Chain A
């Protein structure tokens, strides 16, 4: 979790500087069914390009796609496409570019940062728009994804629907087709022109992900409801949405039913929720007079806030060290060095404060522990914190366990609750 996963990095890279990937894998080009040209002809004018422009230089800072969802000119896109505008409205502006290349300034109306969606208003009356409804598709259904890959012009990509992902923090549709950077925010539709999902990310090799259309339907309904007014500043709203969603999935984390795993004579938490992925490894060698076993789990999913800021990541790491040949002093020199190792996510002064840490020796029902809690706060997005809780089990001469809980972009209440539960759940027998 030191750097965001490859797929989002890839998307962002192209958002920042669109490079024509001439050698990109050919999109599904072979014998396409006769329906595809028809689908494209019918719906192409409902899809637009959205570009974020740096006001000072007038240069494009990023591009994405969007599509009309109302006759009054409302457009749905991804939150991450217009994120620079949310964070620095004075420095960036968003424009839509239609099929003829005419640019027109647009304003953000509503965002759903958790599901990576936004509604923008173009002020352009158009009869050519999609009508959002519940998504209906069965595994294997042929779908068509529209958007502007790498700023190469409006394109259509064929692929198949492969259902909702099973273990994710946020609902996602698995679409087998090549979504590329720049297509973010574009629609994926069925042959009848019904929107099934919104292009959001890819992990390459035709494995792509869509936001289910229901999330967009709900956001559009909220944005178009009579009496809705967009907030003057979106960042507090972004923070509020993240906190509200986290309260749901973090509520029971590390509580009574959490799975545990045995490492030597220690018992620690593992796979805190189904959307975690865990892995482990053991290291022993003739050259080193000790053995170590790693076990780590982290969320495979996150909420994109801006640039290098991801929220909602939870990671647990355990490292068991044992020795047969080192004396206690030398073993504890090793143990201390493992404990002091820094494996926390980096940060940018623009977005986060410096860390502040507090160190204590505490005792749970089973064992004494050295615990260091470090905290830093997000500067712009209200009331969100990164926290690292580092724990070492004390009291043994030839074995030790260092355990780290990393939380990024969570509320203080969750830091407090989860760190206390975490401390209670490390045991020795």
Chain B
């Protein structure tokens, strides 16, 4: 009765390979000359051997590897481990699990037009624009340019060069620190230091934030006091935070897409909750500073939607009700 060897990624739990142990012995290692080839940088080129000992029992033997063998449930390295059904031996960061060939498997899933919760494809994620060098460069340069450009447009001093440069450099520096932290995290978790990819993710988030802020400014210019702008700001803020975290996780972890987005949305929701609490606290407090909010835009007189002055009185009446209410609250 030949046993089944199951190769398991020790951290992700994925099973890249199953093998029937018909002919023994078998060698295990990262080198291509092995019978079982493991894609794990912590595994030696020739790491272990699976064989039968004198008594005919199945064993795994260390072939003098760097990280050795670790048997299930014991922390210590072993030179030889006897294995039976259900046993697990760790080599590097890969688990060798031994299973009974008669073990039943669940029936196949019907392949419907909507794929039902199929397991994620086991490819390392983040393989789109975030890993293309040219795309990374383009997005990063666009973000630095946008940062400098908006600073210039918001500046009305005669010499604005120093402010523009420091805004661009400021983003580069903060972005580098941010991307560096993510890249180090990625190096630890998936053994990949993708600094420029992380910088590009942060850049994309900045570009989106600038675009949405600008659009919102125009919206509130044309329609001040509209109820949508505030919601757009909150919604986009949460969405951007979620996308930012999900984007970084796609490069710095082997999480499936759904889990990345779940983490991102949780982050966004926590930020929204904190922001909401702070706004509430601020609104409760007394302030003798009125808010003349809103940005004015250079638009020809014919293009601005306006109400007649007479209608302004209705606004005033509403305000009066609000402050009368405040005065009653004491």
Which one of B297, B304, B315, B318 has the highest number of Cβ atoms from chain A below 10 Å of its Cβ?
Answer: B315
Residues in A350-393 with C-beta less than 8 Å from chain B = 352-364, 367-379, 385, 388, 390, 392
- Rounded to whole Å, the gap between the CB of A12 and the closest CB of chain B is 20
Contact of B290 (CB < 8 Å), options: A329, A333, A357, A412? A357
**With an 8 A cutoff between CB atoms, is B309 at the interface?**
yes
Q: Determine the distance from Cα of A364 to Cα of B306 in the docked complex, in whole angstroms.
A: 9
Stretch at the interface among B88-96, B272-280, B320-328: B320-328
Residue contact B288 to A355, C-beta cutoff 8 Å: yes
The B302-330 residues at the A interface (CB cut-off 8 A) are 304-313, 315-320, 322-324, 326-327, 330
**Residues in B neighbouring A394, C-beta threshold 8 A:** 296, 299, 301, 304
Contact of B156 with A330 in the complex, beta carbons under 8 Å: yes
Main secondary structure of the interface of A (DSSP, over half): mixed
Is A347 on the interface with B (CB-CB < 8 A)?
yes
User: In whole Å, how far is B213's beta carbon from the nearest beta carbon of chain A?
Assistant: 14
- A10 near B: Cβ within 8 Å? no
CA distance A372 to B295 in the complex (A): 12
Interface contact A420-B288, CB-CB below 8 Å: no
In the bound complex, how far is the Cα of B320 from the Cα of A423, in angstroms? 19
Q: Are A377 and B323 in contact (CB under 8 A)?
A: yes
Q: Are A362 and B322 in contact (CB under 8 A)?
A: no
Residues of A within 8 A of B295 (CB): 332-333, 336
**A424 in the interface (beta carbon within 8 A):** yes
Contact B287 A355 (CB under 8 A): yes
Q: For the complex, what is the distance from the CA of A419 to the CA of B320, rounded to whole Å?
A: 14
Is A340 on the interface with B (CB-CB < 8 A)? yes
Bound form: Cα–Cα A390–B289 in Å:
14
Q: Find chain B residues with CB under 8 A from A412 CB.
A: 316, 320
A416 touches B291 (CB 8 A): no
Q: A67 at the A/B interface (Cβ < 8 Å)?
A: no
Interface: B117 (CB within 8 A): no
Of all chain B residues, the one with the shortest Cβ separation from A335 is B296
Q: How far is the CA of A162 from the CA of B158 in the complex (A)?
A: 53
Q: Is A264 an interface residue (CB 8 A)?
A: no
**B297:A332 contact, CB within 8 angstroms:** yes
Q: How far is the CA of A250 from the CA of B286 in the complex (A)?
A: 30
CB distance from A370 to the nearest CB of B (A): 6
Q: In the complex, are the beta carbons of B156 and A360 less than 8 A apart?
A: no
A290 at the interface (CB under 8 A from B): yes
Q: Is the CB of B313 within 8 A of A330?
A: no
The CA of A324 and the CA of B46, in the complex, are separated in Å by 77
Assembly CA distance A369 to B304 (angstroms): 9
Question: Is the CB–CB distance between B315 and A360 below 8 Å?
Answer: yes
B155 on interface, CB distance cutoff 8 Å? yes
B154 and A353 form a contact (CB under 8 A): no
CA A403 – CA B268 in complex, angstroms?
41
Q: Is the CB of A368 within 8 A of B290?
A: no
Cβ of B162 < 8 Å from any Cβ of A?
A: no
B326 adjacent to A354 (CB under 8 Å): yes
Q: Which residues of A, 218-277, contact B by the 8 Å Cβ criterion?
A: none
Q: Are A329 and B312 in contact, with the CB atoms below 8 A? A: no
Encode B156-184 as 1/0 by CB contact (under 8 A) with A: 11100000000000000000000000000
Q: Is the Cβ of B290 less than 8 Å from the Cβ of A344?
A: yes
**How far is A276 from B156 in the complex, measured between Cα atoms in Å?**
34
Q: Are A353 and B327 in contact, with the CB atoms below 8 A? A: yes
A362 touches B153 (CB 8 A): no
Cα(A163)–Cα(B330), bound, Å? 46
Would you call A353 and B308 a contact (CB within 8 A)? no
The contact of B307 among A289, A334, A360, by CB within 8 Å, is A360
Cα separation A406 to B70 with both chains bound (whole Å) = 80
Q: Which B residues touch A336, using CB under 8 A?
A: 294-296
Given contacts A359-B224, A420-B312, 16 further A-B contacts (CB under 8 A): A289-B157, A326-B156, A330-B152, A341-B292, A355-B287, A355-B289, A359-B292, A360-B224, A361-B307, A362-B312, A363-B309, A374-B290, A374-B292, A377-B324, A377-B327, A379-B327
- Residues of B whose CB lies within 8 Å of any CB of A are 152-158, 222, 224-225, 286-301, 304-313, 315-320, 322-324, 326-327, 330
